[in-house]
Chain A
Amino acid sequence: MKDFFKLFIFNLIFYSFFITFSAFGIPFLALIIAFQAPFISHRKAMKKFRRAIAWYGIGVCRILPFPFVRISYKDFETSINHPGPFIFICNHRSASDPFLMAYLPYEEVIQVVNIWPFKIPVLGFAAKCAGYLSVREMAFEDFVKKTIGHLNDGISIAAFPEGTRSADGSVGQFHSSIFRVALKSGYPIVPICITGNENIPARGTLLLKPGVIKIHKLNSITYDKYKDFSPYKLKNQIRSIMMDHIKIMENKRDA
């Protein structure tokens, strides 16, 4: 009964603030940037939209659910000190994953998203203005061209190659599109493993449960290490690295 009450209070508080914050915060930020847009460069406007989404992400994932939900970010990079840009590959368990990308210590990150985030009122508009790439609505050649264009401009790319949220917490099969971009462009790949948010909220429900979300940024994999791989081998290699690390994160395997 006590747990039920705690869960009820948590969800009541979160959703009250979430609705208010989403209904006013994002339109307010988007309006400010939209007014500035004619007077600044296109790239700068895109950057501002991305920053607005990142702020929204931190608000929704860190501030509003606190102290019921805590976030732990760890950087395991040991091999190189590459300035970037990078191709971030993330596992996908929750609708909160794209907002958690705000934790990456890189300002310029464009996300590769499915169709649905573009359909969210206002936020979808902001995502379009931020230059997010709706991979299913683009021809593969356009996707490659645009993605490599962003990377060459110094902007990192974050992708969720499972394509959809995992229903049972397992890491689904990867789509190869982003790995083909990596092989064509030669930028380092950085796996990002996220656990703990599978119930915040779980797929098919809006009910949030308290917990700790862990975000682990793994070692970069530089082009010289994967240049001779086929796209199929590359995607499975990265998937395997991530699955092994997720097992460690969830204490299913010894470190």
Chain B
Amino acid sequence: MTEQEIIQLTNQVFEESFEIEKELLKPETNIFEDLGLDSLDVVDLVVALQEKFGVKIRNDERIKNIRSLGDIYNFIFKLKEEH
């Protein structure tokens, strides 16, 4: 899976599960301050990402460091590389 595909699929998760407009989905967008996600929304996000990418990330400690969309892209990319 290429980096571009990961970005595209991650953005799809935000568009489909949270109905967030495409224009807001930039690597520097802070998912808490700019998009208004809270800890419970992050649980929904994790479930949606797991389904989209077919990976298990729920117990991954690295999730706690995620702040921006760019962090999510990098996290998924690393996860895909590890598998």
* Interface residues, chain A, with chain B CB atoms under 8 Å away: 140, 173-177, 180, 230-233, 235-236, 239
Contact = CB atoms under 8 A, between A and B. Distances in A.
B23 interface: no
Contacts of B18: 230, 232-233
Given A230-B17, A230-B19, A232-B18, A174 B40 contact: no
B28 interface: no
A103 B67 CA distance: 40
Contact of A233 (B19, B32, B37): B19
Interface in B23-47: 32-33, 36-38, 40-41, 44
Question: At the interface, is chain A mostly helix, strand, loop or mixed?
Answer: helix
6 contacts: A173-B33, A173-B36, A176-B38, A176-B41, A231-B40, A233-B18
A230 B44 CA distance: 10
Nearest to A175: B38
A231 B36 contact: no
Given A175-B38, A232-B17, A233-B19, 19 more contacts: A140-B40, A173-B32, A173-B33, A173-B38, A174-B38, A175-B40, A176-B38, A177-B38, A230-B17, A230-B19, A231-B40, A231-B41, A231-B44, A232-B18, A232-B19, A232-B36, A232-B37, A235-B36, A236-B36
A174 B36 contact: yes
Contacts of A140: 40
Contacts of A177: 38, 40
A176 B41 CA distance: 7
Contacts of B40: 140, 175-177, 180, 231
A61 B57 CA distance: 49
Nearest to A163: B38
A92 to B, nearest CB: 15
Contacts of B41: 176, 231-232
